[in-house]
Structure 1
Amino acid sequence: MTGSEDRPSFRLAYVPGVTPDKWARIWNERLPDVPLSLTQVPAAGADGVLLDGDADAGLVRLPVDRSRLSAIPLYTETTVVVIPRDHLVTAADEVTAEDLADEIVLHPLDDVLGWEERPPGRPALERPATTADAVELVAAGIGVLLMPLSLARLHHRKDLTYRTVTDAPQSGVALSWPEDAHTDRVEDFIGIVRGRTVNSTRGRQPDPAPAGRKPAAGKQQSGMRQSGKQQSGKQQSGKQQTGGARRGGGTPRKKSGSGGGRGKPRRR
C-alpha cells in the first residue's frame, strides 16, 4: 500500500437536497490530516449505505431505522408546490392542500414527504419513477408536484416556480450513523454540526480521577502557603487593632527627659 492509502479518512454520505459544504469546510480546517470523503446517495438507500459500512455517517432524511441507527435531527424543511410560472397558484404567496384539490398532483416513487395515504388533489395515471421525472412532467403542464424546498431549488428551471404549502407534511434532515460504530471521528462531526468550538471536549471527557485520590504535592504546598498567608494576615490585623486600642484609650506614655513627670521648671 502507498502512504496515501494508509491515511485515515471519514466517509460522509448525504442525500439529494442536503448541502454539506459548510460542515465539510470546517472539517477540513480542524482535521486537515483526515480527508473527508463525500458521497451522494438516494434518500431511500441511505440506511443501507450506513448499515453496510459504506459510510461512517450520513446526512439523511427522517425517519431512519432507530433499532440499528442513531440519529440527531438537524432541521425540518418547508414543503412547497412546484408549478409553471403562469399557473393560477402563483397569485398567492402560500397555499393549502385544499387549494390544490382540483390539480393533478404527481407522486414520484422516490417521494420523501411520507404521506399517510397519498398527496392532495387528483392522482396521475402513473407515478413517475423519480422526482426529476416528475419535474419534467410539471414543465410539460401535466400536473404539479409537492417536495421539500431544497429539492425544489436543486431541480430549478426557469419555466417553473414554487409556493409554500402551509399544511403539508414536512421532511426532517438528520445526522445518522450505525449504533455500534460511534467512533471518535463521528463525535468530531457531531461537534461540527452542533456548532461546538474547536477547543470543546464534549463527547471526549477525560477519565475521572479515582475516588479518594489525594491532590498533588505541589497543590498541598500551595494550600499550606495560602493558609499561612491567611493566618499571618489575621495576626497582622490583630496587631493593628491592639495598637489602635493603645492610642485610643490605653495608658499615656511618659515624656522623655530628666524631669520625669514634674513638668517644666519655673522662670527666675
Structure 2
Amino acid sequence: MTDMQVNPSFRLAYVPGVTPGKWARVWVERLPDVPLDLVAVPSEEGERTVREGSADAGLIRLPVDKDVLSAIPLYTETTVVVFPKDHWLAAAEEVTLDDLAEDVVFHPLDDTLGWAADALPGRPAIERPATTADAIELVAANVGVLLVPQSLARLHHRRDLTYRPVVEAPQSQVALSWLQERTTDLVEEFIGIVRGRTVNSSRGRGTGQAAAVPAAQPKKAAPRKPQQQKAGGQQRAGGQKGGAQKGGARGGAAAARRGKPKRRS
C-alpha cells in the first residue's frame, strides 16, 4: 500500500444516475487537505475510465472485469418503464414484461440493464438510439417506451412523461471500483467512507481534526483526605454524643418532675 502523500488529490469518476454528494461531503470533513475531484463520465465509459487510470476510483455499474478491477457493490436499483403520461400503463401501479408486448421498447447503445438482444420485451425499434437521452426524446414523441434504472428516469425527468416499476426485469447494480494494483491509502479512505466506517476506525484514518483529537476520558473523583474523614467521623460521633446528652438532660428533668413531692393544701 502506498503512502497517502503520493497523491495530491483524489479523482472519483461517476456515471449518470449516481449521486456521490453524500460521500463527497464526508471526504471533505475527514481529509480537508486532500482535494476530491468528481469526474462525470458516460455510463459506457465508467469501467474504461478506471481501468486506464484516468480516475483513482469510480462509482460505476456492474459488471466489471474482476481480473483487473476490484469492486464493492453498493446498491441495486429498481427498473422502471418510462412512457407518456397519457399511455394506458399509467393506470397500473406496476408493470410486467408481458404488458409491454405490443409496445416498441427502445434499446439504446448505452443500455445499463444488460439486455440480451433476444430477451428484450415488446417490439424492437427500427434502430437503436445512440444514448438514453435520445431514447427519452423518442418516448416523449410517443414512438415507444424505455426500460431504465429508476435513477436515470429521474435524471431525464420530463413533465409529459412518467414511469412505473417493472417486475421480473433485469436490474442495475452500482459499485465502487478501482484498479487492483492501485489500492492506495486514499482508496482505502474512500472505501471506509462508503462502508460507513467512523473516523476512529482502524481502516478509516481521516486527517482532519476529529481524527487527531482523542476522545475525552471521564474524570475520576479525587480521594478524600484522611483528616477530612477523621473530622467527619468526629462530627458524627459528636452529634450522636450530643444527642445522647440532650436526651439524657430531658430524661433527668422528667425524672426530677416525677420525684418532686406534691404541695400540701
**TM exceeding 0.5:** yes
Q: Distance in 1 between matches of 2:169 and 2:112?
A: 12
Which residue of structure 2 lines up, in the alignment, with residue 94 of structure 1? 94
Q: Tell me the distance in 1 between the aligned counterparts of 2:146 and 2:16.
A: 17
**Which amino acid is 2:140 matched to?**
A
Cα distance between partner residues in 1 of 2:116 and 2:12: 30
Contact 2:189–2:203, Cα closer than 8 Å, also in 1: no
Residue-by-residue CA offset, 1:148-190 (whole Å, 9 max, x unaligned): 0000000000000000001110000000000000000000000
1:63 maps onto 2:72 in alignment: no
Corresponding position: 1:141 with 2:142: yes
Identify the residue that residue 122 of structure 2 maps to in structure 1: 121
Q: Deviations over 1:68-89 (max 9, x none)?
A: 0000000000000001001100
Name the SS of the counterpart of 1:94 in structure 2: coil
Aligned mates of 2:36, 2:29 — CA distance in 1 = 11
Distance 1:61 1:77 in 2: 10
Gaps of 5+ in 2: 1-5, 206-265
Aligned ranges 1:98-177 → 2 under 5 Å: 98-117=98-117, 118-177=119-178
Alpha-carbon distance in 1 for matches of 2:41, 2:108: 17
Structure-2 change in CA distance of 1:162 and 1:52 (3 Å)? same
Match of 2:17? Answer: 17
The answer to whether 1:198 aligns with 2:199 is: yes
Distance 1:184 1:7, change over 3 A: closer
**Percent of pairs with identical residues:** 70
AA aligned to 2:33 is: D
The offset of 1:96, in angstroms, is: 0.6
Task: Pick closer, same or farther for the CA change 1:193–1:7 going to 2, 3 Å.
Answer: closer
Give the count of matched residue pairs.
Answer: 199
Q: Choose between structure 1 and 2 for higher RCO, CA contacts under 8 A separated by at least 6 residues.
A: 2
How far residue 116 of structure 1 moved from its aligned partner, in angstroms, is: 2.6
Residues 58/24 of structure 1: CA separation in 2 closer, same or farther (3 Å cut): same
Q: Displaced runs of 4+ in structure 1, greater than 2 A?
A: none
Letter in 2 for 1:157: R
Distance 1:203 1:30 in 2: 9
Aligned pairs (5 A) from 1:182-261: 182-202=183-203
After superposition, the C-alpha distances for 1:183-209 in whole angstroms (9 at most, x for unaligned) are 0000000000000001011377xxxxx
TM normalised by structure 1 equals 0.72
How big is the shift at 1:7?
7.8
Tell me which amino acid in the other structure corresponds to 2:15.
Answer: V
Unaligned runs of 5+ in 1: 1-5, 205-268
**In the aligned structure 2, how far is the partner of 1:54 from the partner of 1:200?**
29
- Secondary structure of 1:176's counterpart equals strand
Alignment partner of 1:95: what SS?
coil
Please say if residues 82 and 161 of structure 2, whose CA atoms lie closer than 8 Å, have aligned partners that are also in contact. yes
Question: Secondary structure of 2:154's partner?
Answer: helix
Given the two structures, how large is their TM-score scaled by the length of structure 2? 0.73
- Aligned to 1:19, what secondary structure does the other structure show? coil
> In the alignment, which residue of structure 1 is the partner of 2:83?
83
How far apart, in 2, do the equivalents of 1:105 and 1:175 lie? 30
Pair 178,7 (structure 1): closer, same or farther in 2 beyond 3 Å = closer
Tell me, in whole angstroms, the C-alpha distance in 2 between the residues paired with 1:10 and 1:203: 15
